[in-house]
Amino acid sequence: MRGCVRRSRAILAAAALIAAALPAASKTTGAAPQRVVSMNLCSDQLAMLLAAPGQLISVSDLASDPRMSPMADRAAAYAKNTGRAEEIYLMRPDLVIAGTYSGTATVAMLRRLGIRVETLPPAESLDAIRAEILRMGDLLGRPQAARDLLDRFDADLAQARSPDRRGRAALYYANGFTSGRATLAGTILDAAGYDNVAGDYGIATTTPLPMELLVMTRPDRLITGAKWPGQSRGEAILDHPALSAIAPAEGQVTDRDWVCGTPFIVQAIRSLR
């Protein structure tokens, strides 16, 4: 406990020294921010889609991971951050964009140091995605770019959505979790024309589903979580022979287009069709 307290005091002292050595970061004045840092994978994508040239100066290190980011190539043009307050402060941002669940200690420290920090919640529905596009446009002072992106998203979505119901599908992840309709994955399933078997058991969010119940539902399509070899023993359940026996011809894995509520979910919907 004493060690943790000492480390916390050391971090705060370092931040205080930085604040004393450098001029205070600019506050929001109504003008468009000029030095924007994103520290969340999902806000990274929206910021890269909407920022003016030179406006976005840093994205999270996850933005460069092709397993998680559909914009990994574009992210190479930006400085990377690992979500630490000290490194972000030294970038001299006038706006930091974080996720609701981004490091709360980092967000709190940046705000204490006078940095403007805005947080975006996870977008789990089509309406939430639309709202986040518009909000990012407002944060960046780019409302017209956001409206243009929203128009493209709605047009692409109209083409990708299935006009007919295509059967019953199941989502199954490491440790036996599934996702219901009130999740981003559930939204993708619904837009692709599938009924989510999680609804059979009253599941609306993400929660464990015993494999026995999954097998008994006999879904027409099975979508499993992507496996990262060597990362988690919980992924072993995805190799169970019962899963390959459910819908072997229709097996599919969630990928980077399923991770964030952005216009890239259109590609995930298309992949199911």
In the predicted structure, residue 23 carries a pLDDT above the cut 50 = no
Residue type present at position 32: A
CA dist., res. 149 & res. 88, Å (int): 28
For position 230, what pLDDT does the model report?
67
Q: How far is CA 167 from the centre of its chain?
A: 28
Average pLDDT, the chain: 89
At residue 241, the pLDDT reads 87
Q: Is a pLDDT exceeding 70 seen at residue 231?
A: no
Checking DSSP bridges between strand 79-81 and strand 95-99, what pairing results, if any?
unpaired
Task: For residue range 173-199, list pLDDT tens digits in order.
Answer: 999 999 999 999 999 999 999 999 999
Do 252 and 269 meet the contact criterion of CB atoms below 8 Å apart?
A: no
Mean pLDDT of 160-165: 92
Task: Give the CATH class of 29-155.
Answer: alpha beta
Tell me, what's the pLDDT at 248? 60
pLDDT value of position 16: 47
Is pLDDT larger for residue 132 or for residue 247? 132
* Same CATH fold assignment for domains 29-155 and 167-272: yes
Residues 109-113 have a mean pLDDT of: 97
CATH topology of domain 167-272: Rossmann fold (3.40.50)
- Helix, strand, coil tally for the chain in percent (to 5): 50, 15, 35
Tens of pLDDT along 232-253?
A: 778 888 888 888 888 665 568 8
pLDDT at 247: 67
Per-residue model confidence as pLDDT tens digits over 61-106: 999 999 999 999 999 999 999 999 999 999 999 999 999 988 899 9
pLDDT band, very low/low/confident/very high, at 28 (cuts 50, 70, 90): very low
Domain boundaries in the chain?
29-155, 167-272
pLDDT (mean) for 4-29: 45
Residue 245 pLDDT: 82
Higher per-residue pLDDT: 139 or 228: 139
Predicted confidence at residue 188, as pLDDT, reads: 97
pLDDT at 249: 53
In angstroms, rounded to a whole number, what is the distance separating the alpha carbons of residues 11 and 65?
Answer: 29
Per-residue pLDDT, averaged over 155-170, amounts to: 94
- pLDDT higher than 70, residue 201: yes
The distance of Cα 257 from the centroid of its chain, to the nearest Å, equals: 10
Q: Which two tokens stand for residue 262?
A: 């952005």
Confidence of residue 226 (pLDDT cuts 50, 70, 90): confident
Total-model pTM: 0.86
